[in-house]
A and B are shown apart, each in its own frame.
Chain A
Amino acid sequence: MMQADLTSISWLSLAIWLPVLSGILVLLLGGDHKATLTRWLALAGSLASFLVTVPLYTLYDVQDGFFQFEELLPWIPAFNIHYHLGIDGFSLPLVLLTSFTTVIVVLAGWEVITKHVAQYMAAFLIMSGIMIGVFTALDAMLYYVFWEAMLIPMFLVIGIWGGPNRVYATVKFFLYTLLGSLLMLVAFIYLYHQTGSFELADYYLLPLSMQAQIYIFIAFFMAFAVKIPMWPVHTWLPDAHVEAPTGGSVVLAAIALKLGGYSFLRFAMPIAPDASHYFSAAMVALSLIAVVYIALVALVQKDMKKLIAYSSISHMGFVTLGFFMFSQLALEGAVMQMISHGFISSAMFLCVGVLYDRVHSREISAYGGVVNKMPVFAAFAVLFAMANSGLPGTSGFVGEFMVILAAVKFNFWVAFFAATTLIFGAAYTLWMTKRVFFGDVANHHVAELLDLNKREFLILGILAILVIGFGVYPQPITEVMQATSIEFLKHMAISKLPVTGY
């Protein structure tokens, strides 16, 4: 009985609209003069929004590789557009990651944001709902609306609460993403003309000529590669991160990048499977460039946020690498890498935030010997640095390990270059750790530092538990994606080229 009642609730709609409504509520009721109320309201909203996503996990049927929790309503009947939602094993962990990260972001901005508190909190709550919309939409137009809508709160976050060079960063971000998205829209319209619907399932079954698949793949690639970002369309990310406030960086790294990765799995690859195979060598090459080239660039960064941003790009290289080797181990490793990177990059940016709030500098050279004054914080920072270097026992290891092992089977030299992350990843992360945290107290700013307060301890503590927890026992995450990845690979193995009788 209870089970039946629970499954009849529209969990996905709740997951999308509860944070959006909470965001609106915060806007209406909150304000700078009642900042405390605003914060608690935002926290309550984000916690409630997180809680409604938990049943998605507990009620999810891990044996079923197809969409679950589906909701289907007509939206714009004239164009056959539907409000169609559903999740599978790839989107489920990402939805949970999104709702969880929003709680962290609200907590992270607690005392730090004093200007336009209500707008800040509301932006993140609304953004959270929209991003869950991207992860759950099964109608191309609905997806596209969410995809584009997500940019607005992100622009506001960087543009209002960002650093001094924020205008350049937002414009760059805007130009990059817009160019890609427009091509994606063209692809959707083409597919609409072919099928008469925006239904994703129809696209999956639509036979397409190789040429059409190649165009479609390229159009999607332009949209998604920018978002992930892949080399060479990555240069917006470091600038955006540097200018964004801590919360913005966290959302950007933890979730926004995953929109691109997820969309490859949801659109580009299953709609154009033959083109995906056709481009796989190129995609693998671009991923390896991301892993090696970007890691070397990360090594010489002087700004902590830039360094972590480059490190994100390098880690996302494993995601695309895993996608385009077409094996279950690689695929699940790639999704695992997305989730784990969500925790670790959040934690790294939060650590920079902790220092920035106190000293107001992101330069590595402005620090040194922080451990002397902030031992508890340094312990967390070293833990997350190790996770970022992919140490076994942390979640950062799992995805990389799976992808590298799968790569040996794909091609030894691909694995060879991918595995250099063991060296470079450790080099840039630990070298930064050394310069910032170890050594003697470098200057009077460092000498005046105070260790973590309770709120910061709570945030980093939760993330630390997750990073270690999923490193020691990743099965809860991989188990939900098993059936889906099997179905996905089955689908990818079937050619969509029209059968022609020559």
Chain B
Amino acid sequence: MTIKQILILIPLLPLFAAALVGIFRNYLPRWAAHVLTIAGVGAAFVLSVYIFNQTLSGFTLNEAVYTWLNSGDVHFEVGFLIDNLSAMMMVVVTFVSLMVHIYTIGYMEEDPGYSRFFSYISLFTFSMLMLVMSNNFMQLFFGWEAVGLVSYLLIGFWFTRPTAIYANLKAFLVNRVGDFGFLLGIGMVLYYFGNLDYATVFQRAPELAEVQVNLLGSSSWSLMTVTCLLLFVGAMGKSAQVPLHVWLPDSMEGPTPISALIHAATMVTAGIFMVARMSPLYELSTTALSTVMVIGAITALFMGFLGIIQNDIKRVVAYSTLSQLGYMTVALGASAYSVAIFHLMTHAFFKALLFLGAGSVIMGMHHDQDIRNMGNLKKYLPITWITSLIGSLALIGTPFFSGFYSKDSIIEAVELSHIPGSGFAYFAVIVGVFVTAFYSFRLYFLVFHGEEKWRHAKHDDHAHAAHVDAPRDDGHHDDHAHDDAHHHGLGPNDNPHEPGWVVTLPLVLLAIPSLVIGYIALEPMVFGDFFRSVIFVNPEAHPAMEHLAHHYHEFMHSPAGMAIHGFTSLPFILAASGVLLSWFFYMKRPDIPAAIKARFIVIYNILDNKYGFDSFNEKFFAGGSRCLGNLLWKFGDIMLIDGAMVNGAANTMGKIAARLRNLQSGLIYHYAFAMIIGVFLLMTFFIKIN
């Protein structure tokens, strides 16, 4: 088998499995659903590792598979660009996907949509692979929208829940807003570069660096700035950057395994991957990089704040995802593309772990997701406890854990960056460290330590007791008060149980890279040659990365040295104080958070309303469009066009006809008179002409 055939098989195996299970789900036994899809994804993982090994020894490939269509001198092709970046992404995607496939066997055990779910996640794996393996913008856009489709299907997986089908429509439309900009960006690329192939585009980019375009009146813009910003709008949609972040928290309506796979580890990082891939373009526009950095900083900081007040276990993790995506985006803005990809990878492992851990907790709690009803679960779910602790420590950037290396590198890169906005970005990522540590360990302490609070929660009504009786019920709990089928909650005398090995095995397998991958991959990925031929940085304009490498070799020498050094650095101190503070607040003095909340109710309300983005979008964009549509329809179509013109014309016709009818009186002398007049007029006409 040639290597190209292997590459074709990698995305197609999950696709075939998805199609088979999806189409014949009513005829296949239940076990076939997971056996087939796991076989497909597992094989794709093994082959991806093989390809990754090949790329480590210098293998690259840029080749078309088939011609999609030709139009004049524009050729659209489907093809693969395999290099270190795509090979690494392929391994991460297939590995996390495989873990999630296995986990799903346990998580979705009792769900009637079991086969459908496996079909969807396999289809997702196919789409994501097409996205990362693409060698051109057209296929990138295909993968981009295809993952959006699967996300839509999976958020709305429980299609009878009003909130789920609201959330999936919202997710799709918000992503479409991003894709709108993305498509225009692709249009700019095609217009100015004459081609959609990455290789050609990147090669021609320096020639076009100085090109100016006129968009509005006489003001001229740099082509690169416009193109990069338009492409970044797409990334803002997919990677949930402010203000297009609004769909991600709501996407938690989907089953937990896909929150881990799609809405944490892989799909949402597509935007980060795209910008890193496009580094030869972004490097030519400092304006674009500044914008990217500031947007990322806003997301990193302000979404972190929202994590503090959430009580739904999944939503806390979701806001932390938003915040971490902000970190990656900041790294991109600092021209530290390799660091962003590095954080993308470590985050994929520890965030998938945290989500799957949360899912395990939810199963243990009989589908109660409110962290205020939990506590002391370490006693009942030991594996989940240990692995979640590892995930949390990685997330907050504890030295030696994977998250430390990537996050600390980001912070340093931002510190060393001097493009406009880097000062604010540095402030945001530094404060973000404290906030992240605080909400992560708030979650951790409330869930795994303290007293067993479900024993006191009132459960007379059993179904939604946790939500209805919650003391701080404030509106957004109706989010989950409806799905009685899934929200049982534990009775006062029940003990939670750890789910079976299909759930815990993926947790353990994800915990390992969450611990060690940073230590292993730091040197090759960030400071080594791994991305040398893939990611382009202009060291004169954006020297942050070079300084970072220099700094590392000068003072740290090794990953261990960096970790040891990390214990004395500002981020670690902030993270540690965040952990301490949350321990103090939620373990020692639970009365303090309540007092703070009462004292600063205004701020609390702002956070609780998520800064008002949702209500603004709902009123202004959704309501505005409907209002405008009604206006155009009722006034434009019905009143003006139909009323005045069409039916008006018909009525006028009728009136004229009625007049004309009077002429046909049936009296001979009327006709004779008309004839004489007519002959007279005709004669005059001909005489005139002659």
Q: Which residues does A use to contact B, with CB under 8 Å? A: 171-172, 175-176, 232, 234-236, 293, 296-301, 327-329, 332-333, 369, 371-372, 382, 386, 389, 391-393, 398, 401-402, 404-405, 407-409, 412-413, 415-416, 419-420, 422-424, 426-427, 430-431, 434, 437-440, 473-475, 478-479, 482, 486
Contact = CB atoms under 8 A, between A and B. Distances in A.
A286 to B, nearest CB: 13
A172 B630 CA distance: 22
Contacts of A371: 159
Contact of A407 (B153, B187, B650): B187
Nearest to B637: A235
B70 A478 contact: yes
The B interface, classified by DSSP as helix, strand, loop or mixed, is helix
Nearest to B160: A440
Contact of B71 (A171, A372, A482): A482
Interface string B44-72: 00000000000000000000001111111
B641 interface: yes
B215 interface: yes
Given A175-B650, A405-B187, A412 B160 contact: no
Interface stretch (B176-184, B596-604, B670-678): B176-184
Contacts of A234: 641
A402 B187 contact: no
A475 B630 contact: no
Interface of B: 66-72, 74, 138, 141-142, 144-146, 149, 152-153, 156, 159-160, 162, 165, 169, 172-173, 176-177, 179-180, 183-184, 186-188, 190-191, 213, 215, 625-626, 628-630, 632-633, 636-637, 641-642, 645-646, 649-650
A416 B629 contact: no
B74 A329 contact: yes
A167 B193 CA distance: 55
A175 B645 CA distance: 12
A419 B641 CA distance: 26
Given A371-B159, A408-B191, A438-B165, A329 B71 contact: yes
B69 A430 contact: no
Given A296-B625, A391-B145, A392-B141, A422 B179 contact: yes
A386 B232 CA distance: 24
20 contacts: A235-B641, A293-B632, A297-B636, A299-B626, A327-B72, A329-B74, A333-B71, A391-B146, A392-B144, A392-B146, A407-B187, A408-B188, A408-B191, A419-B187, A422-B176, A430-B152, A434-B169, A439-B160, A478-B71, A482-B72
B159 A297 contact: no
Contacts of B184: 404, 408, 412, 415-416, 419
B69 A300 contact: no
A475 B74 contact: no
Nearest to A398: B69
A105 B488 CA distance: 50
Contact of B70 (A299, A392, A473, A475): A475
A405 B149 CA distance: 22
B646 A372 contact: no
Nearest to B633: A297
Given A408-B188, A439-B160, A235 B646 contact: yes
A339 to B, nearest CB: 13
B183 A404 contact: yes
Nearest to B214: A412
A297 B632 contact: yes
Nearest to A168: B647
B188 A430 contact: no
A79 to B, nearest CB: 26
Nearest to B67: A475
Contacts of A427: 173, 176, 625
A486 B626 contact: no
A430 to B, nearest CB: 6
Contact of A409 (B69, B191, B646): B191
Contacts, number: 143
Contact of B180 (A293, A298, A413, A423): A423
B637 A297 contact: yes
Contact of A423 (B173, B188, B626): B173
Nearest to B647: A172
Query: Which 10 residue pairs across A and B have the least CB separation, nearest first?
Result: A408-B187, A296-B629, A328-B72, A300-B629, A392-B142, A438-B165, A299-B629, A297-B633, A409-B191, A438-B159
Contact of A329 (B72, B145, B637, B642): B72
A300 B626 contact: yes
Given A296-B628, A422-B176, 20 more contacts: A232-B641, A236-B646, A296-B633, A297-B632, A300-B626, A371-B159, A392-B146, A393-B145, A398-B69, A404-B183, A404-B187, A408-B190, A412-B184, A412-B215, A419-B183, A423-B180, A424-B625, A438-B165, A473-B66, A479-B70
Contacts of B188: 408, 412
A289 to B, nearest CB: 10
Contacts of B72: 327-329, 482, 486
Contacts of B145: 391-393
B636 to A, nearest CB: 7
Contact of A474 (B69, B187, B213, B641): B69
Contact of A426 (B146, B153, B173): B173
Contacts of A296: 625, 628-629, 632-633
B187 A430 contact: no
A391 to B, nearest CB: 6
A434 B165 contact: yes
B152 to A, nearest CB: 8
Nearest to A239: B642
Given A299-B626, A369-B160, A427-B173, A422 B70 contact: no
Nearest to B216: A413
A439 B68 contact: no
A426 B646 contact: no
A328 B191 CA distance: 13
Contacts of B69: 398, 474-475, 478-479
Contacts of A475: 67-70
A392 B130 CA distance: 12
Given A391-B145, A475-B67, A419 B180 contact: yes
A444 to B, nearest CB: 17
Nearest to B164: A438
B155 to A, nearest CB: 11
A398 B141 CA distance: 12
A404 B138 CA distance: 13
Nearest to B144: A392
Contacts of B629: 296-300
B172 A426 contact: yes
A393 B68 CA distance: 11
A328 B71 contact: yes
Nearest to A427: B173
Contacts of A401: 138, 141, 183
Given A296-B629, A300-B626, A438-B156, A426 B176 contact: yes
Contacts of B169: 430-431, 434
A332 B141 CA distance: 20
A431 B169 CA distance: 7
A234 B645 CA distance: 12
A389 B146 CA distance: 13
Nearest to B140: A392
Contacts of A382: 153
Given A405-B187, A475-B70, A391 B176 contact: no
Contacts of B641: 232, 234-235
Nearest to B22: A379
A172 B213 CA distance: 47
Given A296-B632, A402-B71, A422-B176, A391 B626 contact: no
B173 A332 contact: no
B71 A293 contact: no
A305 to B, nearest CB: 15
Contact of A300 (B141, B176, B633): B633
Nearest to A327: B72
A174 to B, nearest CB: 11
A426 B152 CA distance: 12
